[in-house]
Structure 1
Amino acid sequence: MLTRRHLLGAATAMGGLIASPAVLRAQAPRILKLSHQFPGGTADEGDARDRIARRFAADVEKRTGGGLQVQVYPTSSLMKTLAQFSAVRKGALDMSLVPLSYAGGEVPETNLALMPALVTSYDQAAKWRTAKIGEDFSAMLAEKGVIILTWIWQSGAVASKVKPILVPDDVKGVKIRGGGREMDMMFQSAGAIVSTMPSSEMYIGMQTGALEAAVSASTSLISFRLDEMTKNLTAGRGRSFWFILEPLIVSKIVFDALPPEQQKALRDAGQAMEAFSFAAAKADDEELVKVYGARGAQVHDLTDAHLDKWRDLARATAWKDFAGKNARCAEFLKLAEQVS
């Protein structure tokens, strides 16, 4: 016969079962929200950055047995583009895949992520993560509340409605979008008329005449359809004076609150995406040439001599200005120059 004491004991035991962390994780997985500005697609089709985010999400779910899930919000549908880095720092946004140069006004050191003619090839970019610059740069971001999970580098190309852009003299008098403070500074010193906007606004800029040329990642130039207005394309395949770091990042506040096994799953999934990110970026460099060429754009490639002229100008302008910001900026630039 069940007594009142038996019933209370059973209820207490059931309550303990329901409150068990393992049961809670199984019943209600932790959801992380990942926002980015790029067009949405699937894990196999569409913008490379979106594909990276979706593949990462699938891998995290697999590694955690569904206990941790990542929801991807493309086209800045969750949060405005320029607010994402700051929100990640504060823990108001869990994750983002964002061009770090957008954060230059808030954290000056991040302008290194789009320093003209500093990184000029994928081979050079691939060395950053394990080099001293990568270690110190990651540590600085962690201090600011941001953890890099995947180092994503993109080569840049120049879409022009006017003449080809091959050397600094070619931008004189041209309305151009550079994509970052240091890039803009270099263009201004060469006589360009610089317009500041995120890559998601380049199309309307070209359409309205606010821009005559735009420099951005090959992937962005495909996704945002500037081929419709481009007469001359300076391709980014092989080499470029424009390389950008657009990492997959997570809020340190959010990361530190996760159990160790989920932290490890995020780091491992992020590292696993690096090879795919490089392959996807290189493939988009080639795809860009095909897409724009099919539209009738004249395709041009940079030579080492072209790059030397951009580097000389960048060293005298953007590099010098960056190094003068603070001691850490100067040290970062010195370390980055050591990566050949």
Structure 2
Amino acid sequence: MITRRHILGAASAVGGLVACPAVLRAQDAKVLKLSHQFPGGTLEEGDARDRIARRFAAEVEKRTSGGLKVQVYPTSSLMKTLAQFSAVRKGALDMSLVPLSYAGGEVPETNLALMPAVVASYGQAAKWRDAKIGEEFSKTLAEKGVVIITWVWQSGSVASKVKPILAPEDVKGVKIRGGGREIDMMFQAMGGIVSTMPSSEMYIGMQTGALEAAISSSTSLISFRLDEMTKNLTAGRGRSFWFVLEPLIMSKIVFDSLSPEQQKAVRDVGRELESFSFAAAKADDEELVKIYGARGVQIHDLTDANIDKWRDLARGTAWKDFAGKSARCAELLKLAEQVS
């Protein structure tokens, strides 16, 4: 039986909600899930990629007054590493921070994100976003269902249990992980024994002998503790033939579902994080040398002559193969070459 007391109580509850907009915002908040493969940490400590994700989450929530929240799931705890890009495309996963080269089998154009010797410095990488290549590469991904939120570039270093890897001829007979199809193709042309695996599996690969050398970003080589088994490190500080684009991405389905104000917050925060991402990557390049050097690892730096050798090899192997896949791939490679 509904009494006057019940009616007044209900009215009071409704009145309380109207008087508490924070409660209403909490009820209406949209929550996005962001999965990545890297070790978890905090806003200030840990893997730089995880910090980018957490800083993005914190700042977006702040700018939308709690209307948009992002939950970060590190170490592929929400979804397996190699499934993340495809899930983002389909809207099954809201966001990820992932090396785009992992998606090369599904979207061939993404192999450009780890094309050997196309990018050889952070200065060159930083020009991509606002150059024609950035515009066209973003357009291609959007057509595939993916929106780039933060452009994250990382220089590659080579951890080796055997001899140092400085020039193409050094990979002959070495069991090596390159991290992408085009890099692997180049190694195979020089007699390298290629092993494909995500960076999160490099440690076990080195431990079991499946790998003798592995190329990855300095951040990954720190986070995944390869210093414990490395004898020679080819440092990626300053220059490298291996630069990877591993951006913070969002499903276009999800992005289009956001309000204009939320979209602007996402875009603005994403762009602002790029200066942090470059600074963090460069800092990790130096930190890598310190950590590995303290272990007694021999440190080697690439010369311009080394880079030129890798570029010459890449032109006749990886670049040629990529351009031959489609007119769009050829166009994107040409645009990338125009960035000095």
* Same topology, TM > 0.5: yes
1:141 aligns with 2:141: yes
Partner of 2:240: 240
| 1:29 and 2:24 correspond | no
Q: Deviations over 1:161-190 (max 9, x none)?
A: 000000000000000000000000000001
Letter in 2 for 1:97: L
Question: What's the offset of the Cα at 1:30?
Answer: 1.1
Paired with 2:27 and 2:168, the residues of 1 have a C-alpha distance of: 59
CA distance in 2: counterparts of 1:27 and 1:103, whole angstroms:
36
Could you tell me which residue of structure 1 aligns to residue 184 of structure 2?
184
Partner of 2:298: 298
Q: Distance in 2 between matches of 1:63 and 1:272?
A: 13
- Post-superposition Cα deviations, 1:273-302, rounded to whole Å, max 9, x if no partner, equal 000000000000000000000001000000
Cα distance in 2 for residues equivalent to 1:251 and 1:184: 29
The amino acid that maps onto 2:141 is: L
Mark the runs of 5 or more structure 1 residues left unpaired by the alignment.
none
1:82-118 deviations in whole A, cap 9, x for unaligned? 0000000000000000000000000000000000011
What does residue 230 of structure 2 align with?
A: 230
Mapped partners of 1:43, 1:22: distance in 2: 25
Match of 2:158 in 1: 158
Amino acid at match of 2:179: G
- 1:309 offset after TM fit, Å? 0.2
Deviation by residue 1:239-280 (Cα, 9 ceiling, x = unmatched): 000000000001110111111111111111101100000000
| Superposed CA offset, 1:9-49 (max 9, x none) | x97xx59x87xx99743434211110000000011111010
CA gap 1:23/1:261 in 2 versus in 1, 3 angstroms:
farther
Question: Is the partner of 1:169 in helix, strand or coil?
Answer: helix
- Give the letter for the 1:161 counterpart: K
User: Counterparts in 2 of 1:81-92, with a 5 A limit?
Assistant: 81-92=81-92
1:115 aligns with 2:115: yes
Query: Aligned equivalents of 2:24 and 2:146: distance in 1?
Result: 28
Of all paired residues, the percent bearing the same amino acid is 85
Number of the residue aligned with 1:283: 283
Equivalence map 1:307-326=2 (5 Å): 307-326=307-326
Structure-1 separation of matches of 2:30 and 2:77: 21
Matched, 1:327 2:327: yes
Tell me how far apart the structure 2 counterparts of residues 298 and 257 of structure 1 sit (CA, whole Å). Answer: 51
In 1, the alpha carbon distance for the partners of 2:25 and 2:248 equals 25
Partner of 1:64: 64
Amino acid at match of 1:70: V
Q: CA RMSD in A?
A: 2.0
Q: Which moved more, 1:258-267 or 1:122-131?
A: 258-267
SS in 2 for 1:273: helix
Amino acid at match of 2:48: A
Query: How far does residue 67 in structure 1 lie from its aligned partner after superposition?
Result: 1.1
Post-superposition CA distance 1:129-155 (Å, at most 9, x none): 000000000011111110001000000
Identify the residue that residue 99 of structure 2 maps to in structure 1: 99
**1:268 maps to which residue?**
268
AA of the residue aligned to 2:231:
K
- The ranges of structure 1 where at least 4 consecutive aligned residues each deviate by more than 4 angstroms after the TM superposition are 21-24
Cα offset, 1:238, TM superposition: 0.2
CA distance in 2, matches of 1:87, 1:174: 34
Question: What 5-or-longer segments of structure 2 have no aligned partner?
Answer: none
CA distance in structure 1 between the partners assigned to 2:24 and 2:105 by the alignment: 41
